[in-house]
Amino acid sequence: MPSQKLRHPKPTDLPLHGGRRRVAFVTGAARGIGQAVAIKLARDGLDIAINDLDLSDLEDTKRQVEAIGSCCFLTAGDVTDERRVEEMIDEVVGKLKYLDVMIANAGITYGKAIVEMSAEEMLHVLKVNTVGVHLCYKYAARHMIKQGTGGKLIAAASAAALRGSRVASAYGASKFAIRGYNQSAALEFAKHSITCNCYAPGYIATNMTDWDNLNFPDAAKVKLNMENAIKSLPIDRFGQVEDVSNLVSFLVSRDSDYITGQILPVGGGYHML
């Protein structure tokens, strides 16, 4: 369901080709980092498509994006459903005409000891976090290659893709996998002027780090590990979603055109490369 157009920046103010506005598709955009990214990219002058499991959950993000003056198109769907991902990206291109930026942000967290976790639980985390990124990259890249104007494929990794954590093996494995997958994608798509990069949030204040309200078997242990880790950070505080969206804004910009295959941490010094 397309939204009402409000105001647009002058074409001369926009870092794009052909005088048109660039288009970004952000998954998992109902709240948290995904919402912050959608709003920041709207401020940067892009038109925005947003996704989550339920359309009604996207209304707040839509309102904020449109208030800035960008078009906002909503589409609901599960990023693990290949047919639906293909349909959603086709819908975005059908409504907004182009797709220049894919932000594969949707993901889940999970905390359970290795000796207690079933194969089904492990596979569920991998399917959402890793296969979901693959499907977004796959179908977004097809459109970008067809357009012939390059593009930006950007995935949500994590500090857990740089260093393992207790009671977070499934989550860590899924994020390490994204890191390797993104490097392969960067090699495949460079010839099409498509860059591929990951942002790696550390301890960011979102619903996914609100362990008091997450019903996981070992949530209390994960919360304690997290609190101890934050105390040891050089910048000893929770990060804010804007800390992440500012980095994503750079990766989306033309200033990052010579950067690909990278994972960039936003974690207060949790991991120094």
CATH of the domain at 144: 3.40.50.720
273 domain-assigned: no
**Per the residue annotation, which of 171, 181, 203, 270 is the catalytic one?**
171
Domain count within the chain: 1
Q: How confident is the model at residue 207 (pLDDT cuts 50, 70, 90)?
A: low
- For 22, the token pair is 């660039």
Question: From CA 48, how far away is CA 256, in angstroms rounded?
Answer: 20
Half-sphere exposure of 151 (CA within 13 A, CB side): 27
For 185-188, the CB contacts below 8 A with 24+ separation are 185/137, 185/141, 185/153, 186/260, 186/261, 187/261
Q: Is residue 210 in a domain?
A: no
Lowest mean pLDDT, pick from 114-128, 140-154, 187-201, 217-231: 217-231
Look at residue 144 and tell me if it is in a domain.
Answer: yes
4 falls within a domain: no
Q: Flag whether pLDDT at 166 surpasses 70.
A: yes
pLDDT greater than 90 at residue 147: yes
10 is catalytic: no
% of the chain at pLDDT higher than 90: 74
Q: Say if 2 falls within a structural domain.
A: no
- Could you tell me where the DSSP H helices lie in 8-148? 32-43, 59-68, 82-96, 119-126, 132-147
Indicate if the pLDDT at residue 95 is higher than 70: yes
Confidence grade of residue 228 (pLDDT, cut at 50, 70, 90):
confident
Q: Over 80: is that where the pLDDT of 242 sits? A: yes
Choosing from 175, 199, 203, 270, which is the catalytic residue? 175
Burial status of residue 215 (CB atoms within 10 A of its CB: 0-12, 13-18, 19 or more): exposed
Q: Is residue 148 part of a domain?
A: yes
69 lies in some domain = yes
**Which residues form the domain of 196?**
11-204+239-266
Classify residue 49: in a domain, yes or no: yes
Q: Catalytic site residue 127? A: no
Asked whether the predicted pLDDT for residue 5 surpasses 80, the reply is no
pLDDT of residue 74: 99
